[in-house]
Structure 1
Amino acid sequence: MTVALPPCRTRKLLLNPGELLFSHEPVQMHTLLGSCVAITLWHPRRKLGGMCHYLLPDRQSFHRSERHPHGYFGSDVFHFFLEHITKARLLPNEFEAKIFGGGNVVMLPEPHKSNLNVAEANILFAREQLREAGFKVKAEDVGGRRYRQVVFEMECGSVWVKYGHCS
């Protein structure tokens, strides 16, 4: 027996580095992470939320940061999310938060190594900011030496991760 499935009404969006979205629509968001971090926020009752893909923790820590887009820095991401949550008349503790990425995928040769571990800084920043804002962190998949392809289903709050390894 063959069963015809109804066409998928969910719009698929690719979040590139530095992009973010907060939506009421049943979208499916995709992104590919290395040392960057993605945070998903989902409100189970209202079925709304957002996702980001930030590259560095804090805009104030980097020179000439004014030329980067709003979602490039984690600090901007949190302002964006909190603004949208306030507009929706909701509270951070009503959301499920999940953290992904922060893989240590760039291995520099010894003379070029730096004391700054961007992946670890991104992870620590996400954890700290979520905790301080009052979000409930439901899950995280961070660190390691691999990249992640992340898919966030806004309609149900599910997040899927596919792994790739660095050689």
Structure 2
Amino acid sequence: MGAPVATVDYARLPVKEIERHARSVHPGAWAVETQKPLSTLLGSCVAVCLFDPMLRIGGLNHFMLPDMGRARNGDVDSLLSGNFAMEALLNALINKGAKKVRLQAKAFGGGTIIDTDGGSLSIGMRNAGFAKEWLEREGIPLVASDFLGPWSRKVLFLPSSGEAFCKRMVTNMATADVIAREERAYAETLRQPSPTGKKIELF
């Protein structure tokens, strides 16, 4: 028999080292892990971390609610991004054995660092409000959060322990450009009709 595979205790590492090992979650995506840290960079988007303390598994998503008034052709797929991101993360955890009644949440973002046609403040507030309303509706306690304000945020999440680190950043032009480019590209995909013509099924 081979030697057992050593696991890294990320909680004992400095934050900079955790960041180096982290799996990056981009706008419109989500991920579930048992060990590997997860990270994301937020502007007006919101990231929600869900954690099952008994199973010691967690996940993180990164979403933006679209401007519903701009959805093309009345395509409802583009109106469900926030709901879809939350349902996808929840069900990915449940499929790996997590129990909804045990889940805890931490959520971050909704900043106002970029001007998306004068609507970044509204988008950030809607994202933060949606996250809190969704969690309350589903009965998942929000145990920590950092929303709104004139900052971008770097979020690191340790799925094995439920720990989350949120660094507020006074955004320089280079960082703002990266965030703006990613969030605008993501927002544009939300406004496009579904390539399959099928509607998203929530479960």
TM-score tier by shorter-chain length is 0.7 to 0.9
State the distance in 2 between where 1:92 and 1:57 align: 27
Structure 1 115/92 Cα, relative in aligned 2: closer, same or farther at 3 Å?
same
**Identical positions, percent:** 27
Of Structure 1 and Structure 2, the greater helix share is in 2
State the distance in 1 between where 2:48 and 2:136 align: 13
In structure 2, the residue matched to 1:152 is: 157
- Given that residues 57 and 75 in structure 1 are in contact (C-alpha distance below 8 angstroms), is that contact kept between their aligned partners in structure 2? no
- Given that residues 57 and 122 in structure 1 are in contact (C-alpha distance below 8 angstroms), is that contact kept between their aligned partners in structure 2? no
Structure 1 28/61 Cα, relative in aligned 2: closer, same or farther at 3 Å?
farther
In structure 2, the residue matched to 1:17 is: 27
In the alignment, structure 1 residue 8 sits paired with structure 2 residue 8: yes
- Residue type of the partner of 2:8? C
Alpha-carbon offset, residue 145 of structure 1: 0.6
1:9-88 to structure 2, matched below 5 A, reads 12-23=22-33, 25-56=34-65, 63-64=71-72, 73-88=81-96
Question: Any idea what the Cα deviations from partners look like across 1:74-122, whole Å, max 9, x if unmatched?
Answer: 11112213323443454433111011000111246xxx53497100000
Structure 1 90/61 Cα, relative in aligned 2: closer, same or farther at 3 Å?
farther
- Given that residues 150 and 159 in structure 1 are in contact (C-alpha distance below 8 angstroms), is that contact kept between their aligned partners in structure 2? yes
State the distance in 2 between where 1:55 and 1:134 align: 22
- Given that residues 114 and 120 in structure 2 are in contact (C-alpha distance below 8 angstroms), is that contact kept between their aligned partners in structure 1? no
- For normalisation by structure 1, the TM-score amounts to 0.78
In structure 1, the residue matched to 2:133 is: 128
State the distance in 2 between where 1:40 and 1:86 align: 14
- Residue type of the partner of 1:164? M
DSSP 3-state at the match of 1:149 = strand
Structure 2: give runs of 5+ residues left out of the alignment.
1-5, 11-20, 173-203
- Given that residues 57 and 125 in structure 1 are in contact (C-alpha distance below 8 angstroms), is that contact kept between their aligned partners in structure 2? no
Please provide the CA RMSD for this pair.
Answer: 2.9
Of Structure 1 and Structure 2, the greater strand share is in 1
DSSP 3-state at the match of 2:87 = helix
State the distance in 1 between where 2:120 and 2:30 align: 28
Structure 1 163/95 Cα, relative in aligned 2: closer, same or farther at 3 Å?
same
- Residue type of the partner of 1:93? V
Alpha-carbon offset, residue 66 of structure 1: 7.6
State the distance in 1 between where 2:42 and 2:111 align: 8
Structure 1 114/86 Cα, relative in aligned 2: closer, same or farther at 3 Å?
closer
Question: Any idea what the Cα deviations from partners look like across 1:18-52, whole Å, max 9, x if unmatched?
Answer: 110123x2110010001000000011110012100
DSSP 3-state at the match of 2:89 = helix
Structure 1 95/124 Cα, relative in aligned 2: closer, same or farther at 3 Å?
same
In structure 1, the residue matched to 2:144 is: 139
State the distance in 2 between where 1:114 and 1:158 align: 32
